[in-house]
């Protein structure tokens, strides 16, 4: 996808960890970006910091929309106002522990949100999507005009080199790196290391 003619991308979940980093890159590459995020696991400050990182000029190419993919009206509003060249779909609840403790909330958020997004895109004859879920293969098989890229990544870590954006989940982090970071800055008291009789130097488990 080139950016010589200004192209506009919709990034769902664009205020989150992967979303903010992606949006910085997209703006720096010359794309216009529209974010939709309900700030369930992020804060508006992260979007302000994206603006700060790209500077005042590129920042005018970023639009933030507070909205929830579970409300079709929130998505409709965007598509009725703007023509998008592609959608990158990051919005979702990702914590494994939450999906076990409260599966209905996760199904409602992730499945209903994704279905609403597909349906609105199809309604506006717009079928270009990059996202992380698996079931769009079925959609592409049935409607080959969809152009879909699957992003399969495994636990990305680190923060932007500026240190201004990074992974800062609400509540107790479910991933190791943000947990360690929160202990380091004193937000959490300690990190528990589990396991004591694995065949390693200190008996704790070695993974990945
Ligand atoms: N971080 C990882 O290690 C990892 C690995 C593989 C896949 N993923 C997937 O990538 C995507 C992005 O991950 P992340 O680490 O940036 O997570 P994140 O929680 O930081 O970002 C997700 C964003 O989506 C928003 N959101 C959630 N539900 C929404 C809804 N219904 N409507 C609008 N906004 C909503 C949240 O407020 C948040 O800002 C997630 O779908 C996640 O499952 C992440």
pLDDT tens sequence across 101-132 = 999 999 999 999 999 999 999 888 766 666 65
- Nearest-atom index, ligand 1, CA of 46: 39
Tens-digit pLDDT profile for residues 30-66: 999 999 999 999 999 999 999 999 999 999 999 999 9
Reduced to 3 states, what is the DSSP secondary structure of residue 124?
Answer: coil
Specify the DSSP class assigned to residue 107. Answer: I
Q: Which residue has the tokens 């190419």?
A: 61
- Predicted pLDDT at 81: 93
Question: Whose Cα sits closest to atom 39 in ligand 1?
Answer: 16
Q: Other C-beta atoms within 10 Å of 19: how many?
A: 25
Tell me the three state secondary structure of residue 141. Answer: helix
Give the whole-number percent of the chain exceeding pLDDT 70. 93
Residue 174's pLDDT is 85
Contact present, 37 and 71 (Cβ < 8 Å): no
| Ligand 1 surroundings by CB, under 6 angstroms | 13, 15-19, 36-42, 68-70, 90-94, 109, 113, 132, 153, 155-156
The domain made up of 8-158 is a member of CATH 2.40.10.10: no
Kindly state the average pLDDT of the residues 79-94.
Answer: 93
Give the distance (Å) from ligand 1 centre to CA of residue 92.
4
Q: Whole-number mean pLDDT of the chain?
A: 90
Quote the pLDDT of residue 153.
81
Rounded CA gap, 92 and 105, in Å? 11
Q: State in Å: Cα 189 to ligand 1 middle.
A: 26
Residue boundaries of the structural domains of the chain: 8-158
Whether the per-residue pLDDT at 3 is higher than 60: the answer is no
Q: Whose CA is nearest to atom 43 of ligand 1?
A: 94
Return the percentage of the chain with pLDDT > 90, whole number: 65
Q: Pick the residue whose CA is nearest to atom 5 on ligand 1.
A: 155
Atom 1, ligand 1: residue with shortest CA distance: 155
Q: Which helix (H) or strand (E) holds 170?
A: none
Nearest protein Cα to ligand 1, atom 34: 37
* 99-to-47, 102, 117, 174 alpha-carbon distances in Å: 26, 5, 21, 11
> Best of 49, 94, 114, 172 to mutate for ligand 1, by most ligand atoms within 8 A of CB?
94
Give all strands of the β-sheet with 62-66 in edge-to-edge order: 62-66, 32-37, 8-12, 86-89, 128-131, 147-150
User: Ligand 1 center to residue 90 CA distance, Å?
Assistant: 5
Residue 198 CA to ligand 1 centre (angstroms): 33
- pLDDT value of residue 98: 85
């Amino acid at each position: 996808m080139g950016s010589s003619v200004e192209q506009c991308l919709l990034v769902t979940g664009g205020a989150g960890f992967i979303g903010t980093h992606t949006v910085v890159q997209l703006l720096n590459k010359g794309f216009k970006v529209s974010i939709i995020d309900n700030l369930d696991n992020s804060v508006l400050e992260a979007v302000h910091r994206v603006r700060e990182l790209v500077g005042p000029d590129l920042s005018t190419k970023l639009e933030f929309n507070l909205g929830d993919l579970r409300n079709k009206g929130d998505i409709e509003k965007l598509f009725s106002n703007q023509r998008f060249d592609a959608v990158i779909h990051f919005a979702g609840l990702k914590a494994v522990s939450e999906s076990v403790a409260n599966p209905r909330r996760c199904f409602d958020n992730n499945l209903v949100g994704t279905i609403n997004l597909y349906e609105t895109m199809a309604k506006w004859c717009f079928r270009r999507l990059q996202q992380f879920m698996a079931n769009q293969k079925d959609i592409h098989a049935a409607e080959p005009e969809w152009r879909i890229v699957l992003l399969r990544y495994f636990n990305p870590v680190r923060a932007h080199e500026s240190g201004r954006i990074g992974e800062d989940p609400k509540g107790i982090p479910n991933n190791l790196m943000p947990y360690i970071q929160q202990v380091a800055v004193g937000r959490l008291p300690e990190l528990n290391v589990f396991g004591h009789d694995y065949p390693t130097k200190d008996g704790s488990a070695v993974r990945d």
